Amino acid sequence: MTVSRTVLITGATGTVSTALLTALEGADVDLRALVREESRADGPRRQGAEVFVGDLDDARSLPPAFEGVHDVWLLTPNGPRAPENNMNVMWAARQAGVERVVRLSVVGAAHDAPNRSGRLHALSDQETERCGMRWTVLRPHWFMQNLLNEAGDIAATGTFALNMASARIGMIDVRDIAECAARVLLDDPDRHHGETYTLTGPRSLTFDEVAGRLSHVLGRSVTYLPVSDDAKRKTLLGHGVPAWIVDMLEEYAQAYVSGWGDFTTGTVAGLLGRPPRDIADFVRDHAAAFADVAR
């Protein structure tokens, strides 16, 4: 008799982990979800996960969630404490005898990355590679779902403003990231051990091209408005985004404007046996979010 593997999903209420729980629904695994507060537990429970409350900032809160776990999906929140959060998960995983860690990193993670997020993730990627457990690292490109942050403006005014100039980005649908993660977690633990997968969409796009696709699907004009870093910074700070995150996003934007994100890989197709979702698929599936609120 084969015993189902127990998979612990960290960051369980975030965009990628929520999609991963969806991708794992119906699979022969026992799902656990780690949430910071009990008030956030309903979503993962509805997706079939046993929920544990724990905080990656507090290593002492983690052991109960890890007991009896075979595989950990490791997602740390963006912030200066991300390497500490990763370290706390690794400690809890080793103490519990976890067999495998599948870690969500970021595109271009490296010690000399042009953004603080990439440099911090490089520290945690290196820790993961030396953890003594089986490991796989996923490095996804810019999320198409980031466009949902602009949905209010698109719905209200038919415009969206980013400090990306004419950057081309091999952006990816989060659902593809989740399905790649699920593929790794459902495969034999040895199959993807020691692999670092850079995940992208099928093609590099400018935001003018994104606006064109939005216009086509919504049946009304949508325009991309390039703005300065200072203008975007003022907008984000005005919405209460922490200064550290604003700085990080500005560093990414500057890197993308320089051409840093203009590439794609065939990794998603290799893992899933199908092409990654195109921007047309994303916009069609999320059209309601961008719809004109006046209609």
Residue reference for tokens 């320089």: 258
Q: What is the pLDDT of residues 36-76, one digit of tens each?
A: 999 988 999 999 999 999 999 999 999 999 999 999 999 99
What letter would DSSP give residue 4? P
Confidence at 171, pLDDT banded by 50, 70, 90: very high
What is the rounded distance in angstroms from the CA atom of residue 189 to the CA atom of residue 70? Answer: 10
Alpha-carbon distance values, 64 to 72, 94, 278 (Å)? 14, 13, 40
Q: What is the pLDDT of residues 228-239, one digit of tens each?
A: 999 999 999 999
Alpha-carbon distance values, 60 to 70, 131, 256 (Å)? 20, 19, 39
Q: What is the pLDDT of residues 200-211, one digit of tens each?
A: 999 999 999 999
Which positions ≥6 away from 266 have C-beta within 8 Å? none
Q: Which residues are bridge partners to 11 per DSSP? A: none
| Nearest residue to 43 via CA among 25, 61, 63 | 25
Q: What is the pLDDT of residues 215-230, one digit of tens each?
A: 999 999 999 999 999 9
Rg value, the chain, Cα: 19
Please give the model's pTM, rounded to 2 decimal places: 0.96
b/e sequence 244-265, b meaning 16+ C-beta within 10 Å: eebebbbbbbbbbbeebbeebb
Confidence at 291, pLDDT banded by 50, 70, 90: confident
Amino acid 292: pLDDT:
60
SS3 215: helix
What is the rounded distance in angstroms from the CA atom of residue 57 to the CA atom of residue 271? Answer: 33
Amino acid 174: pLDDT:
98
What is the rounded distance in angstroms from the CA atom of residue 16 to the CA atom of residue 84? Answer: 21
Amino acid 2: pLDDT:
59
| Nearest residue to 200 via CA among 121, 109, 114, 107 | 107
- Asked if pLDDT for residue 260 goes beyond 60, the answer is yes
Q: Answer whether 207's CB lies under 8 Å from 171's CB.
A: no
- Asked if pLDDT for residue 293 goes beyond 80, the answer is no
Alpha-carbon distance values, 188 to 36, 175, 184 (Å)? 30, 22, 8
Give the number of other CB atoms < 10 A from CB of residue 61: 17
Share of the chain above pLDDT 90, in %: 95
What is the rounded distance in angstroms from the CA atom of residue 182 to the CA atom of residue 163? Answer: 33
Q: Which helix (H) or strand (E) holds 140?
A: strand 134-140
Tokens of 283: 């916009």
- Asked if pLDDT for residue 1 goes beyond 60, the answer is no
Torsion on CA atoms 172, 177, 178, 181, rounded to nearest 10: 170
Q: What is the mean pLDDT of the chain?
A: 96
- Asked if pLDDT for residue 294 goes beyond 60, the answer is no
Backbone angles phi, psi at 34, to 5 degrees: -105, 125
Domain annotation for the chain: domains and CATH numbers: 5-141+172-199 (3.40.50.720), 146-168+202-262+277-290 (3.90.25.10)
- Asked if pLDDT for residue 81 goes beyond 50, the answer is yes
